[in-house]
Amino acid sequence: MQSLAVPRPPVSADVVFASTRFPNYKNGADDQAVNTNEDGKLVSMKEVIARETAQLLEQQKRLSVRDLASKFEKGLAAAAKLSDEAKLRDVACLEKHVLLKKLRDALESLRGRVVGKNKDDVEEAISMVEALAVQLTQREGELIQEKAEVKKLANFLQQASEDAKKIVDEERAFARTEIENARAAVQRVEEALQEQERMSQASGSEDMEALMKEVQEARRIKMLHQPSKVMDMEHELQALRVQLAEKSKRSIELQKELAISRKGEESASCLFDLNGTTALGSYLQIQPCSDRAPELSECSIQWYRMTSEGGNRDIISGATKSIYAPEPSDVGRILQVDIISDGQSITLTTSDPIDPAAGLGNYVEALVRRHETEFKVVIIQMNSVDHPSESIHVLHVGKMRMKLCKGKTTVAKEYYSSSMQLCGVRGGGNAAAQASFWQPKVGLSFVLGFESERERNAAIMLARRFAFDCNIMLAGPEDRAAQKH
């Protein structure tokens, strides 16, 4: 056996082995050598690539753009890894070719030196090496084809990844543009709404006042040029009121004459009497009814109001004249007047309580619905001094304040307060029923003359109604009864 031993030629130093052991081969179909894994299963790179490609195509339909881009990037990395493995396999194949060539050369040199059974073994080994060389050549062809497919797939995946990134960038840019446009539109709408709100707040009050004035002027013009049935009825009622007042006055005079005729001698001792209608809108006057009556200018006079006959009476401050015109606070009250002369006091009392003016309540209720009512007046006195001018002024009675104007000039303007006073004028002549006393503030007072008794009483009632809504009790000077009322 020692003589048969053949010295093994040394292996070239430039050969690099991919592994530390020789691969395991076995004969497959048609006597072809097939490489096997440790687990005994056959693995084909082509099958692996086909399986991965099928999985990618199947999942592509269910992925979003962003997920698809991520998958493409992963596939690109896998393709790069496969390409690296293919390069390593090329190196391994080259090593195998070199090894098989050296092995075949060694066997050829050994075949010429051995005889017999050993020679048959060497020839069988040479045929096995040739079969391995053929199998290796086929494997190289398959690797070249797989390499081309891997490269093609890598290019496809890279292009798909770039397209996916491009689509994602375009969608992101489009979404940002839409968001910016929406924000700009919302900001423009908010600015427009704020500007409109500021303009409406600035012009709302002015427009409302102008509109109310226009409506009032239109109503006045319509009433002047096209009298309605309501106005006709008001004229008829006014005429009936005048007739009723005349009848009532005549009836009172007849009753007094009848009472005087019945009293006989007792009537001769009466020095003074009250003349006038006990109704709002008229006036009461003290008249002497005997030659023995003293001059009224030499007497001291004071008017009172009572809740009922024989009840407590309240002094009417400033009512010290022989004529007194009842005001709205006197409605339902009995009036008394004391006449003192030479230490002798004479008391006169109205026969009935003061009656309200017919239709005045409804007229005031209609005025309450307005924002402001205007009354034409004349200034008779200002701060207890006669006013020389008799020009027409306008008294504005509003829900919050009263204002006296002459044209565009404001003479006085005050909001309702505890220092404001308003009542009928307490004294004067036959025009006392058409005059009122108004003190806007301390140190400023007016005596105003109205167009009619109705206008004067309506202005007083309307102002007191608005002042009451402002928690202010509007009355005359030291008028305690009105404050309680």
- Tokens representing 361 are 């309540």
Provide the pLDDT for residue 156.
Answer: 84
Question: Which pLDDT score, from 0 to 100, does residue 226 have?
Answer: 53
In order of 56, 107, 109, the CA distances from 112 in angstroms are 58, 9, 6
CA distance 45 to 54: 14
pLDDT value for 449: 93
- CA–CA gap between residue 188 and residue 455 (Å, rounded): 55
Q: Which residue has the higher pLDDT, 27 or 147?
A: 147
Question: How much is the pLDDT for 365?
Answer: 92
More confident residue, 382 or 228: 382
pLDDT of residue 447: 93
Q: Do the Cβ atoms of 404 and 394 come closer than 8 Å?
A: yes
Q: Which spans in 355-431 are helix H?
A: 360-368
Structure tokens at 36: 């096997």
Residue 223: in which H helix or E strand, if any? helix 117-225
Q: What is the pLDDT of residues 231-284, one digit of tens each?
A: 667 777 888 888 888 888 888 878 777 766 665 444 434 688 888 888 998 889
Q: State the average pLDDT for the chain.
A: 78
pLDDT computed for residue 8 by the predictor: 44
- pLDDT at 397 exceeding the cut of 90: yes
Specify the pLDDT at position 171.
Answer: 85
- Per DSSP, the residues of 84-111 read HHHHHHHHHHHHHHHHHHHHHHHHHHHH
Q: Is the pLDDT of residue 109 over 80?
A: no
Q: What is the per-residue pLDDT for 76?
A: 65
* pLDDT tens per residue across span 355-373: 998 889 999 999 999 999 9
Q: Is the pLDDT of residue 404 over 60?
A: yes
The pTM of the whole model exceeds 0.85: no
pLDDT band at 36 (very low <50, low <70, confident <90, very high): low
Largest CA distance in the chain: 197
Least confident of 34-38, 249-253, 305-309, 420-424: 34-38
Lowest mean pLDDT among 35-44, 68-77, 252-261, 347-356: 35-44
Amino acid at site 283: Y
Tell me the average pLDDT across 383-401. 90
Instruction: Count other C-beta atoms under 10 Å from residue 104's C-beta.
Output: 16
CA distances 376 to 60, 379, 440, 455, Å, are: 92, 10, 17, 9
For every residue of 42-98, DSSP letters joined together read ---HHHHHHHHHHHHHHHHTT--HHHHHHHHHHHHHHHHHHHHHHHHHHHHHHHHHH
Measured from the Cβ of residue 32, the count of other Cβ atoms closer than 10 Å reads 14
pLDDT of residue 273: 85
Residue 243 CA: distances (Å) to CA of 238, 246, 248: 9, 5, 8
Confidence tier at 142 by pLDDT (50, 70, 90): confident
pLDDT of residue 199: 82
- The confidence score (pLDDT) of residue 313 equals 84
Question: Is residue 359 packed enough to be buried (19+ CB in 10 Å), middle (13-18) or exposed (0-12)?
Answer: middle
Q: What is the pLDDT of residues 305-330, one digit of tens each?
A: 987 666 788 898 888 888 999 999 99
CB atoms within 10 A of CB 90: 14
Contacts of 347 (CB under 8 A, 6+ apart): 336, 337, 338, 339
CA 292-296-302 angle, to 5 degrees, is 125
Strands 284-288, 300-306: pairing is: unpaired
Question: Angle, to 10 degrees, between the axis of helix 117-225 and the axis of helix 65-111?
Answer: 170
What is 450-477 written as a DSSP string?
A: ESSHHHHHHHHHHHHHHHHHTT-----T
- 272, 285 contact by CB (below 8 A): no
Q: What is the pLDDT of residue 294?
A: 83
pLDDT, position 265: 40
Identity of the residue numbered 426: R
In angstroms, rounded to a whole number, what is the distance separating the alpha carbons of residues 359 and 350? 23
Q: Under a CB-based contact definition with an 8 Å cutoff, are residues 349 and 364 in contact?
A: no
User: Which candidate, 6, 1, 14, 2, places its Cα nearest to that of 125?
Assistant: 6
Q: Please give the average per-residue pLDDT across 17-23, as a whole number.
A: 46
What was the pLDDT predicted at 66?
A: 58
Between CA 155 and CA 159, with CA 158 as vertex, the angle to 5 degrees is 85
- Angle (CA) 304-309-315 rounded to 5° is 15
Q: Is 158 helix (H, G, I), strand (E, B) or coil?
A: helix
The secondary structure of 173-190, three-state, reads: HHHHHHHHHHHHHHHHHH
pLDDT in tens, 457-478: 999 999 999 999 999 999 888 7
pLDDT band per the 50, 70, 90 thresholds, residue 411: very high
Higher per-residue pLDDT: 409 or 48:
409
Rounded distance between C-alpha atoms, residue 123 and residue 114, angstroms: 11
Position 68 confidence tier, pLDDT thresholds 50, 70, 90: low
